[in-house]
């Protein structure tokens, strides 16, 4: 199955109000992190978790597969916000066209001035390709797992792991960060557009499906 994270492209004229009662409290944790997609550091076991069941779903065409479980994890250390997307995807598809590939299409954060910054990792190639503000920090990692790593092991999927400098997005410990997250899940018919009949495509939103014109932010509350 396919996952890709998508958020809006522009924030001009978009109100920066967060959806009520939709806040994730991000713990402040110390320690050294190696961004390799393995999540082996003890901080990840204490991180805030956002499961796919908290997302709204929109489906295209004849989407019939069950959604692959996935979750996002968050913590910060006062200087960096650490984010991970862990997917138990049994079918990871790469494609040169971003809309047709698995991965983090965009994790978009609204700055205090109302500008959106986009952090993208997606399986347009293997290893994944980073674009937009992911280069602000230059710190990210990814790996395929399960049968892609060990053919005899059940399961599968991938992990994205990255860090965003809080100073780059204008927030600090104790602040509440507005953002919108969209995860796409696709099965079957590789190398065709995601809206092709039978392409098995679904979109999961934590926020709104379109935050260009109809923004609906949710919030990360950074522990002091």
Q: How confident is the model at residue 59 (pLDDT cuts 50, 70, 90)?
A: confident
Residues 6+ apart with CB under 8 A from 136: 117, 164, 165, 168
* CA distance linking residue 24 with residue 48, whole number of Å: 7
Determine the pLDDT at residue 161. 93
CB of 67 closer than 8 Å to CB of 52: yes
Determine the pLDDT at residue 171. 97
pLDDT in tens, 148-163: 454 454 457 889 899 9
Per-residue pLDDT at 16 exceeds 60: no
Residue 30 backbone dihedrals phi, psi, to 5 degrees: -110, 150
Determine the pLDDT at residue 215. 63
Determine the pLDDT at residue 22. 67
Determine the pLDDT at residue 140. 83
* CA distance linking residue 122 with residue 23, whole number of Å: 26
- The Cβ of residue 89 has, within 10 Å, a number of other Cβ atoms equal to 27
* CA distance linking residue 24 with residue 74, whole number of Å: 9
Per-residue pLDDT at 14 exceeds 50: no
Determine the pLDDT at residue 80. 95
Instruction: For each of the domains in the chain, give its residue range(s) and CATH number, in order of start.
Output: 4-222 (2.60.40.1190)
Rounded percentage of the chain residues whose pLDDT exceeds 70: 75
pLDDT in tens, 158-179: 898 999 999 999 999 999 999 8
pLDDT in tens, 86-108: 988 777 777 777 777 777 777 88
Per-residue pLDDT at 199 exceeds 50: yes
Whether the full predicted model's pTM is greater than 0.85, yes or no, is no
CB of 165 closer than 8 Å to CB of 137: yes
Determine the pLDDT at residue 121. 81
Across the chain, what does the average pLDDT equal?
77
For the segment 75-90, the average pLDDT, to the nearest whole number, is 91
Residue 64 backbone dihedrals phi, psi, to 5 degrees: -125, -15
Per-residue pLDDT at 186 exceeds 80: no
* CA distance linking residue 75 with residue 26, whole number of Å: 5
More confident residue, 103 or 44: 44
Per-residue pLDDT at 10 exceeds 60: no
Per-residue pLDDT at 7 exceeds 70: no
Determine the pLDDT at residue 26. 97
Cα 108 to chain center, whole Å? 9
Per-residue pLDDT at 222 exceeds 90: yes
């Amino acid at each position: 199955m396919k996952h890709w994270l998508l958020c809006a492209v522009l924030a001009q004229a978009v109100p920066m109000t967060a959806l009520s009662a939709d806040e994730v409290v991000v713990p402040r944790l110390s320690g050294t992190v190696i961004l390799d997609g393995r999540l082996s550091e003890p901080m990840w076991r204490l991180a805030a978790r956002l499961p796919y069941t908290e997302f709204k779903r929109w489906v295209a065409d004849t989407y019939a597969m069950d959604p692959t479980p996935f979750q996002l994890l968050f913590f910060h250390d006062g200087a960096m916000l650490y984010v991970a997307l862990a997917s138990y995807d049994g079918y990871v598809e790469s494609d040169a066209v971003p809309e047709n590939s698995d991965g983090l299409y965009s994790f978009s954060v609204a700055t205090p001035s109302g500008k959106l910054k986009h952090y993208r990792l997606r399986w347009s190639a293997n290893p994944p390709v980073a674009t937009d503000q992911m280069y602000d920090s230059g710190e990210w990692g990814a790996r395929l797992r399960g049968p892609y790593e060990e053919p005899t092991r059940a399961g599968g999927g991938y992990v994205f792991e990255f860090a965003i400098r809080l100073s780059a997005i204008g927030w600090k410990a104790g602040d509440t960060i507005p953002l919108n997250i969209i995860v796409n899940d696709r099965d079957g018919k590789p190398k065709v557009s995601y809206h092709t009949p039978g392409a098995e495509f679904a979109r999961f939103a934590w926020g709104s499906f379109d935050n260009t014109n109809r923004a609906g932010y949710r919030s990360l509350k950074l522990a002091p």
